[in-house]
């Protein structure tokens, strides 16, 4: 009887897709306008899914107040209104693509989530462009 509980969250952040070890021409060729030097912003929407067996006493897979606090501390406080390339150490030498942001979010939540619970992340960069990561 495993159930998945979802909570939505939101943050704004700036980035550019760019590799320091590539020429400007190659960055432009591969990443196009996403590589423009003066950065651009996204309104990221996040869905966090936590799967587990409901506790027989509370009926909860996870108390949503706890999940809300985890998302605030591990995602919103860390990413909101940041320049991902400059402010987030994990992206100093890693492209802050939606894929890599989702992996980082998953890793940050995973380390504070009870080991019996499974975690999946869906990150929307735009309404039409989104990625999923479940740790596999």
> Which residues are annotated as catalytic?
34, 81, 125
Q: Which is nearer to Ni ion, 17 or 113 (CB)?
A: 17
- Provide the minimum distance between the beta carbon of 23 and Ni ion in the complex, in angstroms, as a whole number: 20
Q: 3-state SS of the chain?
A: CCEEEEEEEEEEEEECCCCCCCCHHHHHHHHHHHHCCCCEEEEEEEEEEEEECCCCCCCCCCCHHHHHHHHHHHHHHHHCCEEHHHHCHHHCCCCCCHHHHHHHHHHHHHCCCCCCCEEEEEEECCCCCEEEECCC
Q: For Ni ion, which is the closer residue by CB, 30 or 34?
A: 34
- Least separation, in Å, of the C-beta of 83 and Ni ion? 12
Nearer to Ni ion, 83 or 107 (CB): 83
Q: Which two tokens stand for residue 23?
A: 């020429």
Tell me how many residues contact Ni ion (CB under 5 A): 1
Q: How far is the CB of 41 from Ni ion (least distance, A)?
A: 8
Binding mask 26-65 for Ni ion (x = CB under 5 A): --------x-------------------------------
Q: Which residues bind Ni ion (CB under 5 A)?
A: 34
């Amino acid at each position: 009887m495993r159930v998945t509980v979802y909570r939505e969250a939101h943050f704004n952040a700036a980035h550019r897709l760019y590799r320091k070890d590539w020429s400007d021409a190659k960055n432009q060729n591969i990443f196009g306008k996403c590589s423009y030097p003066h950065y651009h912003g996204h309104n990221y929407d996040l869905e966090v899914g936590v799967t587990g067996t409901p506790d027989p006493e509370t009926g909860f897979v996870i108390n949503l107040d706890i999940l809300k606090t985890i998302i605030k501390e591990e995602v919103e406080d860390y990413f909101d209104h940041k320049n991902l390339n400059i402010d987030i150490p994990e992206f100093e030498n890693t492209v802050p693509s939606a894929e890599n942001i989702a992996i980082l979010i998953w890793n940050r939540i995973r380390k504070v989530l009870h080991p019996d619970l499974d975690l999946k992340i869906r990150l929307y960069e735009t309404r039409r462009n989104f990625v999923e990561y479940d740790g596999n």
